[in-house]
Amino acid sequence: MCLKCGYVKAAIAIAVVASLIVGWMAWSQAADESQLIPAASADAPKAAGSLQTAVLAGGCFWGVQGVYQHVRGVSNVLSGYSGGDAVTAKYDLVGRGRTGHAEAVQVVFDPAEISYGEVLQIFFSVAHDPTQLNFQGPDQGPQYRSAIFYEGEEQKHIATAYIAQLEKAKVFNDPIVTRVDALKAFYPAEDYHQDYLVNNPGNPYIEFNDLPKISELKRWLPGFYRETPLTVKTASAR
């Protein structure tokens, strides 16, 4: 038995664990620095009308879906995939980072209660960190990129103008890397990904990365916060 080899392997293992701990601590600190950012100057006025949708990508869809399930004026939120083709819109393929897809959420909202610009204000304030390029906290790869998939010229204008507004005001210490891409399609994720945060609040990943986002929503944007989350099941029952 090679004791030296054993010691080397143990040292490497300790170094890897230490590196992971440092990374998780840095992510925790960043999460604690969530902030209320200014509202969008260019926005659609609130008005009665048909339900609208926003498709957003900001890292693992569990947490982003969980945030919007606690937002007033939202009538449904689905986890899914955008940016690639239908044939590759599967979790095991998207996770390899080569399909073009991003893990995304489709937010269906009532424009009389919440505007598209306000949906984006929540996105930039608490749902994710828009300065992280092709990763989000512990999750690495282009499938975890920050992106807004717009439907129509109005959404495109509001999104691009809002990013320019935030950059000009230097709201974030680092540049915003959020992509603004035309929505080609949204593909709902597998059933076991839907309502994942609501169904698994004790999951260590959820406790560490995502539940703080819900707390920050309540803290920074109490007017939009609702205590009981809207789930896919309750939304379909309406």
Classify the phi-psi angles of 152: left when phi > 0, otherwise alpha if psi is within -120 to 50, otherwise beta.
Answer: left
Residue 60 annotated to the active site: yes
Distance CA 129, CA 146 (A): 8
DSSP code per residue over 145-197:
-EEEEE-HHHHHHHHHHHHHHHHHTT-SSS----EEEE----EEPPGGGTTHH
- Grouping H, G, I as helix, E, B as strand and the rest as coil, residue 74 is strand
Residue 110 CB burial class (10 angstroms; 0-12, 13-18, ≥19): middle
Contact 145, 134 (CB under 8 A): yes
**Can you give the length of the chain in residues?**
238
Active-site hit among 40, 60, 148, 158: 60
Query: Among 177, 174, 163, which Cα is nearest to 133's?
Result: 177
Contact 207, 200 (CB under 8 A): no
> Annotated active-site positions, please?
60
